[in-house]
Amino acid sequence: MNSYVTHLESALDGTQFPAGQVHTVHQGRPLWVRYNLPAVRRAVTPDTFTSRPPSLWRYRELLPLPLDVEPVTLGEGMTPLLPCPRLGQALGLRRLFIKDESQLPSGSFKSRGMTMAVSMAKHLGLRRLAIPTAGNAGGALAAYGARAGMEVYVFMPQDTPIINQIEAHLAGARVFLVNGLITDCGRIVREGTAKLGWFDVSTLKEPYRLEGKKTMGLELAEQTEYRLPDVILYPTGGGTGLIGMWKAFTELRELGWLRSERLPRLVSCQSEGCAPIVRAFEKGERFAETFANAHTIASGLRVPAAVGDFMMLDAIRASGGCASAGREGRIVEWMRRGMSLEGISICPETAVCFDCLEQLITAGKIDADEEVVVFNTGAAQKYPEVISLNLPRIDKEHPVDYEALVL
């Protein structure tokens, strides 16, 4: 058997589509990839995965790329699940962990989605890809597209972090800056599809980035010996990772591999400057309205409208979780606080999670004894514009006042 995929399925109405063909969306909404899970259960066990190299590709039976096809890879290793006792103590938690996605090849969790999307695009015969991006996704697509020898077009807001602009350019992509938001970039990609024949690799506009992000949940399950944490906080812009993790957990439960029926409560974390999912959750709505005047220095969260909004909200509610807005003015503070206490390179998006976490603890929605995992989705060094420094200087021509250095 080359693949355990049975079909693709509309997340909106359940309409089914054949596997092995190029698909985008149905009625403007995303598709699920569905697997023959009984056949997977007969073929492998959790111990099978453990015996393989520590890469997201160890989960091949639960991924869409046929088993006999070589993936387009940059050596994506499993990311560490790091205990954070000092930060936990500062927050009043006994069991706080960070899953550090910044250690992936592109410096962010986008490596997971792009290694899968580009591998499937190449397998299905596509040669030209295009993407609207808030930053990290464009750099990751450019890198994996270069690895595959494909043509890549990247459209990003003109104030996208300079590191993202540079990495996409250096990887050979055609990079364009747009004086607007990611939704404006998305319109340009959408309108150019028929004219230039590229394939749109936007968040959830193709079904396979989601399957790559799903491996975050598969890894977390393996790292916790299939006893999942009580709460997961995840920064959500387009929300592919949150949706993918929930899909992973439900597939693992159907496989019978989880050691309890309880699944983690998912917390969707957004900045108060762009919080469409939070607003929809609080109003009890399944679909989110476009967030007007979206602004946040956490560029990955500046997504005023998400095509997978209902998938995020469904997952949050099914898990018993919630959506929370972090305070924009505390992002830099949380970056430094997290890094100075634990040494982990905290990105602005994850800093928002810690502000949400503090608020939820204060409100009594997360208990001190619960096991909490926060996903760090990127490396702090990819966001130099976020931090302004005024560091003290030493003049080499004058004696150093060493006692003053410790004041």
**HEC letters along 274-332:** ECHHHHHHHHCCCCCCCCCCCCCCCHHHCCCCCCCHHHHHHHHHHHCCEEEEECHHHHH
Please answer whether residues 7 and 16 qualify as being in contact, where contact means their C-beta atoms are separated by less than 8 angstroms: yes
Structural tokens at position 317: 């509610």
* Cα separation values, 354 from 75, 96, 97, 280, 338, Å: 29, 11, 12, 21, 8
Query: Can you give the residue range of the structural domain that contains 96?
Result: 81-107+209-386
- What is the tally of structural domains in the chain? 1
Is 188 inside any structural domain? no
Mean pLDDT of the 243-272 span: 96
pLDDT tier for residue 406 given thresholds of 50, 70 and 90: confident
pLDDT tens digits, one per residue of 10-20: 999 999 999 99
Beta-sheet strands, E only, within 217-280: 231-235, 265-271
Q: How far apart are CA 287 and CA 291, in angstroms?
A: 12
Strand order in the sheet with 371-376: 81-83, 95-100, 371-376, 231-235, 265-271, 322-326
Q: How far apart are CA 136 and CA 294, in angstroms?
A: 18
Mean pLDDT, the chain, whole residue set: 96
Is 365 inside any structural domain? yes
Cβ-proximal residues to 406 (8 Å cutoff; 6+ apart), any chain: none
Is 224 inside any structural domain? yes
Is 59 inside any structural domain? no
Compute, in degrees rounded to 10, the torsion defined by CA atoms 98, 357, 311, 254. 50
pLDDT of residue 1 exceeding 80, the answer is no
Cβ-proximal residues to 318 (8 Å cutoff; 6+ apart), any chain: 246
pLDDT tens digits, one per residue of 79-128: 999 999 999 999 999 999 999 999 999 999 999 999 999 999 999 999 99
Tokens 């111990």 belong to 47
Backbone angles phi, psi at 35, to 5 degrees: -120, 155
pLDDT tens digits, one per residue of 289-342: 999 999 999 999 999 999 999 999 999 999 999 999 999 999 999 999 999 999
Is 74 inside any structural domain? no
Which domain CATH number covers 270? 3.40.50.1100
pLDDT tier for residue 135 given thresholds of 50, 70 and 90: confident
Is 68 inside any structural domain? no
Q: How many Å is the maximal CA-CA distance in the chain?
A: 76
Q: How far apart are CA 397 and CA 373, in angstroms?
A: 49
Is 336 inside any structural domain? yes
Is 339 inside any structural domain? yes
pLDDT tens digits, one per residue of 139-181: 999 999 999 999 999 999 999 999 999 999 999 999 999 999 9
